[in-house]
Amino acid sequence: MMSGLKSSFNQWSLNKRIDLIYSNSFAANIATIFLSFLLVLAVNKSIPSNILWTWFSIISFIASCRLILAYYYQNKNKSISIENWAIIYTVSSILIGTAWAGAAYFYYLTEKAAIKSLVVMLLIGIIASAMIVLTASMRIFYGHIIPIFSGLTTAIIISGESYAFHMVAGFIAYLVFISAAGKNTNKHLTESLQLQYENQKLVLSLEEEINVRKNATNALEGHREKLEGLVEERTSQLLKTNEALTEEIKIRKKVEESLKHLAYHDELTKLPNRLLFIDRLGHALVRCKRHKTNVSIMFVDLNRFKKINDTFGHAAGDHVLISVANRLRKTLRTEDTISRFGGDEFVIIIEHEDQDNIEVLSEKIQELISKPIPYIDKSLSISCSIGISKYPDDGGTIDLLLDKADAAMYLAKSGN
């Protein structure tokens, strides 16, 4: 049984480690292309152009292939096992490490001390930076740094400089230090993953344990008459059991409340999601039918949102969505329901307002959303298109009201 648990943890841990490595692969490989280009610009007057650009082409090609691998991994290609994904990244790390090792050849080709120092410092930095993420797998880590270390020490040795021996000795000491630090980082990661795994197991077993304790409580109640003679003797023990059970129930309630919130709210904006929106709209229609009142639906779609995502990245897009959600909260009443349907679409339920007020509110929302949104050192501009449907004029069902509001939104968008 212990062997099975250990095997289960190892598989789970491997998934987490490879996830960590691939999730950081995008930034690492873009940085590789950028740094190699800067190196070419720095040494282009000291190294033959054909050698420089050939090397740059090779390292850029390998880094691009690694970017493609990371993309396919993020899309979770199920036809490839996690073990094979680890092997693929190990091979690609050896290739990119070998490509970086090619930069050590520049050390051999030039006589300029500044260029030699630049090459040495860059390659040492590449080795050090690998420790941040790649130590999640020591095989991948060594596959990346050993070719760089070998290429650099070989270039220094064959250059025949008087201080070559001392530099090589220093590099060996540096490699030993980096290896020790990498193993220590790997050890801490393993301990952290072990703790996460155990916590997950504990949470999963919590419900079963609570059920067992509830059954035990029911059994105790069923045999209450037979146990009356043992009440005084067992009082202390039962009090402790009840305290533990109460604490576990509190924990379970917190977990259930958290899961319920996640199920009915958008994780990014904290607004109600589609499920909660549909539920609230259903209740609103029941109230309107009973009291002969009205309810309006606003379908809000952001314009130029995709351009912001494509130009500034998804972090900027998320910032825009959060800002829009906050502006809607400040504009609308607490009894109004603001929902994020997904993507850049927001839907609003407004009860007990006449059509003129709804139009004024729509213009106010458009004006507010159109105000620039500060983001880091930039100012992001966005607008919105709004479609409105009204109960009972535009329909008496949820689907019909949503369809009418959606169609009105698209008509408004086509006019922008």
- When pLDDT is cut at 50, 70 and 90, the band that residue 339 belongs to is very high
d(CA 15, CA 122): 31
- Is 344 in the active site? yes
Q: How many helices (H) and strands (E) does the chain have?
A: 15, 6
- The helix/strand/coil state of 236 is helix
d(CA 274, CA 340): 7
- When the pLDDT of each residue in the chain is averaged and rounded to a whole number, the result is 84
149 burial via Cβ count (<10 Å: 0-12, 13-18, 19+): buried
Look at residue 181 in the predicted model and tell me its pLDDT: 85
Sequence-ordered list of residues with C-beta below 8 angstroms from that of 249, at least 6 positions apart, any chain: 210
* pLDDT per position as a tens digit, 31-89: 989 988 998 888 888 888 898 899 999 999 999 999 998 888 888 666 788 888 889 88
d(CA 102, CA 148): 8
**E strand segments, 166-318:** 295-303
d(CA 376, CA 395): 45
For 265-304, where are the alpha helices, taking DSSP H only?
274-291
Q: Where are the domains of the chain?
A: 2-196, 223-264, 274-414
pTM beyond 0.85: no
Sequence-ordered list of residues with C-beta below 8 angstroms from that of 356, at least 6 positions apart, any chain: none
CATH of domain 274-414: 3.30.70.270
Q: Is the pLDDT of residue 344 over 80?
A: yes
- Report the 10 Å Cβ neighbour count for 123: 23
Q: Is the pLDDT of residue 259 over 60?
A: yes
Adjacent-strand bridge partners of 299: 347, 387
Average confidence (pLDDT) over 4-16? 75
d(CA 234, CA 17): 49
* pLDDT per position as a tens digit, 369-411: 999 999 988 899 999 999 999 998 898 899 999 999 999 999 9
- Options 266, 301, 336, 344, the catalytic residue: 344
